[in-house]
Structure 1
Amino acid sequence: MVTGDAGAATAAEPVRYLPWGTVTDRFWTTGDGGTGGAGGRSETGGDGRAGGDGGRVTGSPAEAGAASHAEADSPAGRAAGAEVLAAVMALAAAGDLGQASSRARRREEEVRRAFGDRHPELVDIGEVRGYLAHLAADHATAVRRYLDVLRLRAELHGPDHPDTELAVRRTYSLWRAVPAADALAVGPELLSTVVSLLGPASVAGLHIANRLPGLLRASAPLPPT
């Protein structure tokens, strides 16, 4: 599990968009919610990967793809992927974001070449790459990578799966943390993705739709004086 401070967060404003982070059930009712505490729900399994089953995809339609991914989803395959991501985050913690991003990209390319575009490990890699982009101040790319992961989670698990719900919350939390201009640039894609998965009356969709007009006003040029 990735830990640490993204730089912008304080003790009163904890980071809520770390890969595989914890999001409480009070998330929407308290603005951006919080992490940990009573009533909180962690999405991490015993090995720190997303999902209570250790990151493995379960249920239909994931079962259809499980056999073709058996090698990479074996204990040895999962260990190899976890080792790479641990090395990536060690590089990032040491301040070498360039090398961290390159190593994560290479791992993603390796997995795609070997197993296609629907392998569960791409969820882990995608969130880490999005977080690295955020650390590098490439905020629009960061949100778009989280959106890619959200769509993949929904495809693998289904839109009603708890992992998908938690990915929506993390993506929304990251979007709220980026500068207004970047948030406005990716806001329509975020809204359309959430609406397509959860519906226009979903809590997430309403929060996003309610925030977009304010971003538009904040980004408008000031009238000449």
Structure 2
Amino acid sequence: MSTDHTLYAPWGVVTPHFWREADATTGLAAPAAVTPAPGAKAQAEIPAPPAEYQPRIAAVTDAFAPPVDAQRLASANLEAEKLDEEFTASYGASHSYTIQVRELRGWIAHLMNQPAVAARWYLHTTGLQMQVWGVAHAFTRDSADRAVQHWRGVTDSVERRSLATELLPMLATITGDNSEVYRTVRKIAAPRADG
């Protein structure tokens, strides 16, 4: 497995300082925190969560620093789950704070070597991003890309096929059913019978 995790990292490279880089005046994340798709027009930035949550989020992202430690990741996973519950209760499932925490949960699953769980988190956040930003937005497309990248890491053939079936409707909407990625996933979801 590659040690370069930038393909999967939400909003660029996740570091312990990711959520701390907000402009105190606007509350928006620094532009470097979001890397738009090549050729994309300037798009909205993700606001940083309220200050009272930032130390807890920083504790979660601190667990991402090498060397990867299973115990630190388990603790980060529990804290991310609590943050998810709190953000969902306070802001709703479609709020950017909630979506960001759920993407962090996908990243934690990746670091815990759970590619199917990670893919499902990103499949979920893709649906939320579609509601908030629309199909063509870079955030939506990036979540979709991460879902597919993590799906590619699933080695169990039954799980891989099941997850491929879940990915197809999202890919049809995001990339179109004539796209190469859609056709690749469809081959796994519905392999042709021999004879």
Q: Paired residue for 1:114, among 76, 90, 110?
A: 90
**TM-score normalised to structure 1 length:** 0.63
Aligned to 2:179: 202
Question: 1:148: Cα distance to partner?
Answer: 0.6
Once the two structures are TM-superposed, the CA of residue 149 in structure 1 deviates from its matched residue by: 0.4
Residue 88 of structure 1 corresponds to which residue in structure 2? 60
SS at match of 2:163: helix
Q: Give how far 1:164 is off.
A: 1.3
**1:51-130 to 2 correspondence within 5 Å?**
53-56=44-47, 77=50, 79-93=51-65, 95=69, 96-130=72-106
- Name which of 170, 175, 184 aligns with 2:146: 170
- Unaligned stretches of 5+ residues in structure 2: 14-28, 37-42
Helix, strand or coil for the counterpart of 1:172? helix
Equivalent pair of 2:34/2:45 in contact (CA under 8 Å): yes
Q: TM-score, normalised by structure 2?
A: 0.71
- Contact kept? 1:168, 1:194, Cα under 8 Å: yes
SS of residue paired to 2:132: helix
Instruction: Report the alpha carbon displacement of residue 17 of structure 1 after superposing the two structures with TM.
Output: 1.2
Relative distance call for 1:210 and 1:45 in structure 2 (3 A) is farther
2:23 match: none
C-alpha distance in 1, partners of 2:181/2:56?
A: 33
Give the corresponding residue for 2:136: 160
| Identity across matched positions, percent | 25
* 1:48 aligned partner: 33
Deviation of 1:157 (Å): 0.5
Kindly indicate whether the alpha-carbon contact (under 8 Å) linking 1:130 and 1:146 is maintained by their aligned counterparts in 2.
yes
2:2 partner amino acid = A
Change (3 A) 1:54 1:84: farther
Report the Cα distance in structure 1 between the residues aligned to 2:84 and 2:182, rounded to whole angstroms: 30
Candidates 147, 168, 188, aligned match of 2:165: 188
- Give the gaps of 5 or more residues in structure 1: 1-7, 23-43, 57-74, 218-225
Task: Say if 1:211 and 1:184 are closer, same or farther in 2 by CA, change over 3 A.
Answer: closer
**1:153 Cα deviation (Å)?**
0.4
CA contact (8 A) 1:129 1:142 kept: yes
- Equivalenced residues, count: 167
Indicate whether 1:17 and 2:2 are aligned.
no
**How many angstroms apart in 2 are the aligned matches of 1:187 and 1:76?**
33
Q: Do the aligned partners of 1:159 and 1:198 also contact (CA within 8 Å) in 2?
A: no
Contact 1:139 / 1:178 at 8 angstroms: preserved in 2? yes
1:193–1:199: structure 2 CA closer, same or farther, 3 Å change rule? same
